[in-house]
């Protein structure tokens, strides 16, 4: 009966198009799912399980509480809901408050998506968005090299999945990906990582001309250096049946003389065209003009916004949370876009005027408000205003973001309030670690789970050596420690009767003796693992693949390595593995 109700839920809310079965891991309560997906040989069965974020290191208190009980944080997230199935209740409010001209919006979207190779499904979705009853399920990310970290892929597929859920329930909805082309931190998007043919972490990096001159990423143009970057990528990737197809895909999308944001958009259109994902670049002048009213109001109320944000930051910190964005008294919620396209922060001066960071420009609040009306292309929203601008342009029913974005929303909720906009509901994007068969075998062989790896290689080494590689020597260490303690206990009893200070001296020496035994034991662990070179290599490559840079895989690895191994089927496998009811980190065993 449980299985039947689960399958009914999938049908009703679009949890998965594949066949799903719940399995119970022997000797544990953890639930696994099997998902049947297409592959070149016919079908492949994926196994998935869920890991609560509370069991993953370095997660913020605010994020953990939001995932477990969003309604308890209503003060900071006014539109929070318990489940994605409740999001449709927001649609009337969203539609009533959407004032931007849909035809201007959709004309701009059509042009930019056609330019970047949009599919027919995407163009159909843009036409659907013209209708007054259509809402947008939105996500976004910076324009990273070759799509950036894996979580970019997971964000897009999360928005697509919820769009399908809403459509199955009779609502008009489209998925939109907001490319953060206005951001000017090029260092963050200039490189990406993948596993090479030896299972080691390799880096792809590209730095075209003018990339570090405060230019928004969307104004940076690829040059001929991208050819060498692509060459380096494929020199490192193993050659598979899908390599040629992947190389063609990358070379078609990441071409010299193409803007960085456009190359990113072209790749996303190739990967998600079948799902109708709409790409949005906020640098478009038509979108800037549509956003002019919200720019002007934010400028006029900038002092109130800064005061509210500072108060909210203090409140969050008093409650034991962290404030994601540090707001100073001189903060201003918009950047100044100079005529050379550079993006410059603005600060309030002691005289009450507003200066660009390089002090090349100085304006009164009235002058800035007038410029927002006449030439809105001169402005770019800061991180606390960006989501409000996004949701002014789009009829956004919800947004899929990461943990940091959820923290931003706890602050930016005040900006929504001051600008009289309905606060958007934010969901955490689906989160995955992909465990390939060879790494799954390593984990199984040594009785490890993903969460065990969070302790680090050094800390799980004793367990592996003593339980699987050399139990005999490990037992000798245990016996030695026991015998030493027994004999020292006898000596201690004798010394207490003679002179108590001698017993204290013995206690100090006991600690030193046991310390040296422990140090010798650690050397034994390392010597044993180095002796077993094959095992050492398997463990190291498992750590590299599953926790690269000691972080979740999705924060480091790029999708190209998986596309090289599994082709574009990989995108569909992830789509099928999405379960919007699951607010944990999902582990997929290929």
When pLDDT is averaged across residues 391-415 and rounded to a whole number, the result is 96
Is 136 within a domain? Answer: no
- Report CA 393 to chain centroid distance, whole Å: 24
The answer for residues whose C-beta is within 8 angstroms of residue 522's C-beta and 6 or more apart is: 462
Is 227 within a domain? Answer: no
Strands 191-195 and 362-363: unpaired
Q: Are residues 381 and 294 in the same domain?
A: yes
Average pLDDT, the chain: 90
Asked if the model's pLDDT at residue 24 lies above 50, the reply is no
Predicted pLDDT of residue 207: 93
Give CA–CA dist 471/467, Å, rounded.
Answer: 6
Q: Please state the pTM of the whole predicted model.
A: 0.89
Looking at per-residue confidence, does 204 or 26 come out higher?
A: 204
| Nearest residue to 391 via CA among 370, 419, 364 | 419
Asked if the model's pLDDT at residue 5 lies above 80, the reply is no
pLDDT single digits (tens) 74-121: 999 999 999 999 999 999 999 999 999 999 999 999 999 999 999 999
Model confidence band, residue 2 (pLDDT cutoffs 50, 70, 90): very low
Is 309 within a domain? Answer: yes
pLDDT single digits (tens) 278-301: 999 999 999 999 999 999 999 999
Q: Are residues 377 and 474 in the same domain?
A: no
Q: Are residues 378 and 292 in the same domain?
A: yes
Give CA–CA dist 366/476, Å, rounded.
Answer: 80
Compute the Cα dihedral for 459, 464, 467, 472 and give only its sign: negative
DSSP string, 395-408: -EEEEEE-HHHHHH
Is 334 within a domain? Answer: yes
Asked if the model's pLDDT at residue 15 lies above 80, the reply is no
Is 202 within a domain? Answer: no
Cβ contact 136:95 at 8 Å: no
Model confidence band, residue 4 (pLDDT cutoffs 50, 70, 90): very low
Predicted pLDDT of residue 237: 97
| Nearest residue to 396 via CA among 407, 388, 404 | 388
Q: Which of 359, 393, 427 is the last residue of a domain?
A: 393
Counted domains in the chain:
2
Query: ∠322-327-329 over CA atoms, to 5°?
Result: 140
Cβ of 439: how many Cβ atoms within 10 Å?
23
Is 269 within a domain? Answer: no
When pLDDT is averaged across residues 469-487 and rounded to a whole number, the result is 81
Q: Which of 360, 393, 426 is the last residue of a domain?
A: 393
pLDDT single digits (tens) 156-181: 999 999 999 999 999 999 999 999 99
For the chain, the distance separating the N- and C-terminal CA atoms, rounded to the nearest angstrom, is: 28
Q: Give the CA-trace dihedral at 501, 505, 507, 510, to 10 degrees.
A: -160
Is 306 within a domain? Answer: yes
Looking at per-residue confidence, does 388 or 459 come out higher?
A: 388
Model confidence band, residue 8 (pLDDT cutoffs 50, 70, 90): very low
Q: Are residues 294 and 381 in the same domain?
A: yes
Residue 160 tokens, joined: 């697509």
Model confidence band, residue 467 (pLDDT cutoffs 50, 70, 90): confident
When pLDDT is averaged across residues 308-319 and rounded to a whole number, the result is 94
Residue 109 tokens, joined: 């979207």
Q: Which of 375, 393, 411 is the last residue of a domain?
A: 393
Domain that residue 368 falls in: 286-393
Cβ contact 346:335 at 8 Å: yes
pLDDT single digits (tens) 487-543: 888 887 887 777 778 777 878 888 888 888 888 888 877 788 777 778 888 889 999
Predicted pLDDT of residue 30: 59
Is 368 within a domain? Answer: yes
Q: Are residues 387 and 479 in the same domain?
A: no
């Amino acid at each position: 009966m449980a299985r039947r109700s689960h399958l009914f839920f999938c049908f009703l809310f679009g949890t998965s198009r594949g066949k799903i079965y719940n399995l119970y891991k022997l000797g544990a309560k953890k639930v696994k799912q099997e998902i049947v997906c297409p592959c070149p040989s016919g079908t492949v069965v994926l196994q998935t399980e869920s890991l609560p974020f509370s069991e993953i290191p370095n997660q913020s208190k605010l994020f953990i509480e939001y995932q477990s009980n969003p309604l308890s944080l209503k003060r900071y997230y006014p539109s929070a809901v318990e489940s994605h199935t409740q999001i449709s209740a927001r649609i009337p409010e969203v539609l009533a408050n959407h004032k931007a001209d849909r035809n201007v919006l959709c004309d701009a979207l059509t042009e930019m998506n056609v330019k970047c190779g949009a599919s027919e499904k995407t163009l159909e979705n843009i036409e659907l968005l013209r209708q007054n009853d259509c809402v947008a399920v939105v996500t976004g990310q910076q324009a990273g090299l070759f799509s950036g970290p894996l979580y970019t892929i997971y964000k897009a597929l999360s928005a697509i999945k919820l769009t399908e859920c809403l459509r199955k329930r009779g609502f008009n909805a489209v998925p939109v990906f907001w490319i953060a082309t206005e951001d000017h931190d090029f260092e963050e998007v200039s490189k990406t990582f993948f596993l090479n043919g030896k299972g080691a972490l390799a880096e792809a990096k590209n730095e075209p001309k003018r990339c570090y001159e405060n230019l928004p990423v969307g104004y940076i143009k690829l040059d001929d250096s991208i050819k060498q970057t692509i060459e380096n990528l494929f020199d490192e990737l193993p050659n598979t049946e899908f390599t040629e197809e992947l190389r063609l895909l990358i070379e078609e999308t990441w071409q010299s003389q193409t803007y960085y944001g456009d190359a990113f958009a072209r790749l996303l259109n190739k990967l998600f065209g079948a799902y109708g994902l709409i790409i949005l670049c906020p640098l478009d002048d038509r979108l800037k003009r549509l956003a002019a009213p919200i720019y002007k109001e934010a400028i006029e109320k900038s002092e109130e916004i800064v005061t509210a944000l500072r108060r909210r930051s203090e409140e969050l910190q008093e409650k034991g949370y962290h404030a994601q964005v540090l707001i100073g008294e001189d903060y201003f919620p918009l950047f100044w876009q100079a005529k050379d396209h550079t993006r410059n922060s603005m600060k309030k001066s002691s005289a009450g005027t507003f200066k660009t960071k390089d002090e090349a420009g100085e304006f009164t609040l009235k002058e800035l408000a007038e410029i927002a009306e006449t030439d809105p292309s001169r402005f770019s929203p800061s991180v606390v205003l960006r989501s409000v601008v996004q949701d002014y342009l789009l009829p956004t029913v919800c947004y899929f973001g990461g943990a940091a974005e959820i923290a931003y929303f706890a602050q930016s909720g005040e900006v929504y309030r001051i600008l009289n906009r309905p606060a958007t509901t934010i969901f955490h994007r689906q989160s995955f670690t992909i465990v390939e068969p060879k790494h799954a075998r390593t984990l199984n062989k040594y009785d490890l789970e993903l969460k065990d790896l969070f302790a680090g290689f050094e800390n799980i080494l004793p367990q592996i050596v003593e339980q699987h590689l050399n139990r005999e020597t490990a037992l000798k260490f245990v016996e030695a420690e026991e015998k030493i303690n027994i004999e020292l206990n006898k000596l201690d009893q004798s010394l207490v009767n003679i002179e108590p200070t001698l017993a204290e001296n013995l206690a100090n020496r006991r600690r030193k003796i046991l310390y040296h035994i422990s140090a010798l034991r650690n050397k034994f662990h390392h010597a044993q693992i180095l002796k077993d070179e094959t095992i050492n290599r398997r463990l190291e490559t498992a750590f590299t693949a599953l926790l690269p840079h000691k972080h979740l895989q999705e924060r480091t690895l790029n999708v190209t390595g998986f596309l090289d191994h599994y082709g574009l089927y990989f995108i569909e496998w992830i789509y099928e593995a999405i379960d919007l009811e699951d607010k944990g980190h999902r582990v997929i065993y290929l």
